[in-house]
Amino acid sequence: MRKIIVAGAGHGGLVAACRLAEAGYDVTVVEKKERNETGHDWHDCIWKPAFDKAEIELPECDGVNLMPYFDTAYVNPAKTVKIPIEGISPRLFFIDRKFLLKMLFERCEKAGVKLIFGREIKGAVVENVKVIGIRTEDGEMPADLVIDAAGVDSPVRSSLPASSGIVSEIPENKMFWAYRAYFENTDGTVTSPVQSIYFYHCNRPGMDWVASDKSFIDVLIGSFSCLTREEIDEALEDFRQEYPNMGKDVIRGGQVAKIPLSPHIPKFIWNGYAAIGDSCSLTEPMSGSGISNCLKAGCILADTVINAGAREFSEELLWKYQYRFLKDAGEANYSVEILREFMASLSGKDIDYFFEKKILTDRELSGMSFSGATVSEIIGKIVAMIPQADKIPGFTKMGTRMLSAKKAMNALPAVYTRTGFEKWRKIYEKI
């Protein structure tokens, strides 16, 4: 029986582990944290089709809520404009991340997956240009395939040789530092919009939000550089001026997490190796959530392995996993990342101007590509920017990069060869 090790208990890796075990593979998940310590202590919004694809049936309980709508608005730094985002699919679940992990662990165990908690992973075991297992604090563990779900600072990915073609580190300037905490809703009032997303809040390059529920106020404070305690306290105090029903004590969360916001690394497969989740940056660049993408990627990876039969897990074979995922989600994710980078380059006054002059609207902020805009729409936006002439090159560059992202995804080779990949990588890296 072929052995598969999933390094880390990430959502996508667990979905792949479960499906592979159900197909008869010998699957082991190795996680450095204890079982009750895994996962962020917060909720996320996840599309129902992602659960359907992963064949996860969600129960009706406190950990899962179907949202019939998502009342969201984007707010400029001066708080003079709120842009509502409409057309959000009703097939959206608000789910407790720890509850989701609990479900996935139980499903894995039912399928026969061996779960090992509290064992630190040190790196990959490589022999003859192939990953043949992992090194842990307790010694080596052999495997025919290692699925790397060990996160943004994965010791497996960072230990691979340069000849693998896989980057060892995800750049710090592609990170998002997020403080997430839940505070008591002292009077049960739910404001409208339910969620407000603030750009450049308190003169800090980043994106914050406040979301209200009858029992709590959910706060995220996000920065494109390391957050300080002083910055967190300043943002919280400002929010309390707008939300006087936001209590002082943290009832859940209260930690800072580092989240990769760049679209996928150029290559996330090698001989005997496939990365998933934060290990290869499969997050959605504007929201920072990666669960929907990871559930989808876990299914695609499992299908690729199962369809391989008795063949070796070569990079040529595993490329089918990367190719299928990128064709499905690559262009959309990159377009949103380009918009995020442009927003991060602006000052608070710039963003105020773009909101007030409707240069940035719900169309762009909801992730729609400029490549779908008409010529008259693009010209109109550029004309509106004339008083901000120094920003026109950046705005134009953003549109050009989005077109380049589309070109890169169209050029993605369906069949892997090292020469073909390197040719595509050059196109990708020009975005």
Domain boundaries, the chain: 3-68+91-170+262-329, 173-260, 336-410
CATH label, 3-68+91-170+262-329, candidates 1.10.10.10, 3.30.499.10, 3.40.50.20, 3.50.50.60: 3.50.50.60
pLDDT at 286 over 70: no
Is 178 within 8 Å of 288 (Cβ atoms)? yes
Q: Kindly report, residue by residue over 74-102, the tens digit of the pLDDT.
A: 899 999 999 887 655 556 677 888 889 99
Q: Kindly report, residue by residue over 387-408, the tens digit of the pLDDT.
A: 665 666 666 777 777 778 788 8
Greater confidence (171 vs 180) lies with 180
pLDDT at 196 over 50: yes
Calculate mean pLDDT across residues 149-173: 93
Q: Kindly report, residue by residue over 344-376, the tens digit of the pLDDT.
A: 777 888 889 888 888 777 776 765 444 445 545
Calculate mean pLDDT across residues 219-223: 93
Q: How far apart are the first and last CA of the chain?
A: 43
Q: Which of 186-200, 281-295, 313-327 has the highest mean pLDDT?
A: 313-327
Specify the fold of 173-260.
Answer: Alpha-Beta Plaits (3.30.70)
pLDDT at 165 over 70: yes
Calculate mean pLDDT across residues 257-280: 91
Is 102 within 8 Å of 115 (Cβ atoms)? no
pLDDT at 386 over 60: no
**151 sits in which H/E element:** none
pLDDT at 429: 83
Is 281 within 8 Å of 174 (Cβ atoms)? yes
Q: Are domains 3-68+91-170+262-329 and 173-260 of this chain identical in fold?
A: no
Of 348, 316, 309, nearest to 80 by C-alpha is 348
Percent of the chain with pLDDT over 70: 85
Q: Which of 224-233, 372-381, 393-402 has the highest mean pLDDT?
A: 224-233
Is 120 within 8 Å of 34 (Cβ atoms)? no
pLDDT at 6: 98
Is 145 within 8 Å of 138 (Cβ atoms)? no
Of 25, 29, 43, nearest to 251 by C-alpha is 43
